Amino acid sequence: MSYHRGHRRRRRNGLCGHGLCAVCVLCGLFYSSACAVEYLPGVAWPEPEVVTPGKTNSQPPSDSIVLFDGKDLTEWNDDGSWKVEDGAMIVGNRDIRTKKKFGDCQLHIEWQMPNPPRGQGQHRGNSGIYFMPHYERGRNLFWKYEIQILDSYDNKTYFDGQAGAVYKQSPPMVNAMRPPGEWNTYDIVFTAPRYAEDGSLKSPAYVTLVHNGVLVHNHFEMSGPTSYIAPPAYTGHADRLPIGLQNHGHKVRYRNIWVREIPPIVGTQEHVPMLRAGDLRWPVDEERPEE
């Protein structure tokens, strides 16, 4: 008797006192006319665009911008020292940056360490991927959101500086490095920081990194852009900036580089969230009207 009294007393929004009765649970499996209540979010969504994926996950999808296809460096601002050889671009005498600018993006990039390996620690196959590289005027600091590239196969160094690290901020969760001479893959989702008009931070940068198919950073919140000589600090910068690759004096090779811009899908709130039962509709925070 106490259950039935509670059921009647707590019945609100058309649901039973326990939130979902046994009949309602069936709605998660199949439609039944006995499941009388439907939740209506009230959001009108645009239809998602059709994107044709590559034949493999490493190949660029139809909406990607190919930054390097093994042929030339036309998508990059290069000083002429980076070379293309056997379908790979080889690190030159200076950093290199894309001609196009990006904010939120998905980046695919493949890289190979020199073989045989030489050096130890940070002096073995060192390079890096820069998102949004920029200078802070006044202090003459070079900022970037860097994902470290290093030969971390049987090569010890400081953990937040090994391959897959968000440089000087977090090591990867695991070391997924392949031996020198084999190709490594990074798939990176980068969320750019947002700044208010006065330059104050609205939301930080985030990065998700999959290294050789292994998740090593899961929506990691960055403390600011990275630097070797200074602690991270958010300073206002443009919404869109190039992607860069670092020269650190080592002949690291890159291939198959493509990027997708990832603007969020945005819906329109057409009405407040409601519940529906037949022809009846009512806001979720109100009692169900009498039929």
Chain segment 131-158, per-residue pLDDT in tens: 999 877 666 568 899 999 999 999 999 9
Confidence band (pLDDT; 50, 70, 90) for 6? very low
Task: Give the CATH number of domain 65-261.
Answer: 2.60.120.560
Is the omega angle on the peptide bond into residue 263 within 30 degrees of 0, that is, cis?
no
* Strand 268-269 with 183-191, pairing: unpaired
Query: How many other CB atoms are found less than 10 A from the CB of residue 130?
Result: 25
Residue type (1 letter), 37: V
Residue 121: DSSP 8-state: G
Element (H, E) at 24: helix 22-25
Contacts with 20 (C-beta within 8 Å, 6 or more apart), sequence order: none
* Residue range 195-249, pLDDT digits in tens: 999 889 999 999 999 999 999 999 999 999 998 888 999 988 999 999 999 999 9
Please tell me whether residue 145 adopts helix, strand or coil conformation: strand
User: pTM to 2 decimals?
Assistant: 0.85
**What percentage of the chain reaches a pLDDT higher than 90?**
76
Cα–Cα distance between 33 and 44 in angstroms, integer? 25
Of the listed ranges 28-42, 62-76, 83-97, 254-268, the least confidently predicted one is 28-42
Secondary structure element (H or E) that encloses residue 218, with its range: strand 214-221
* Closest listed residue to residue 151, CA positions, set 108, 183, 186, 121: 121
Q: Are 250 and 125 in contact (CB under 8 A)?
A: yes
87-108 burial code (b ≥16 CB/10 A, e <16) = ebbbbbeebbbbeeebbbbbbb
Q: Where in the chain is the domain with CATH 2.60.120.560?
A: 65-261
* N-term to C-term CA, the chain: 26
What's the mean per-residue pLDDT of the chain? 88
Residue type, 12: R
Q: Which residues of 182-203 are buried (b: 16+ CB within 10 A; e: fewer)?
A: ebbbbbbbbbbbebeeeeeeee
Confidence of residue 105 (pLDDT cuts 50, 70, 90): very high
CB 156 within 8 Å of CB 124: no
So what's the pLDDT on residue 142?
Answer: 81
CA-closest candidate to residue 70, choices 102, 106, 109: 109
Looking at residue 10, what is its pLDDT? 39
Mean pLDDT on 146-171: 96
Task: Report the alpha-carbon angle 279-280-283, nearest 5.
Answer: 140
Please tell me which residue, 142 or 85, carries the higher pLDDT value: 85
Q: pLDDT per residue over 10-60, tens digit each?
A: 345 555 444 444 444 444 544 444 458 999 999 999 999 999 999 999 999
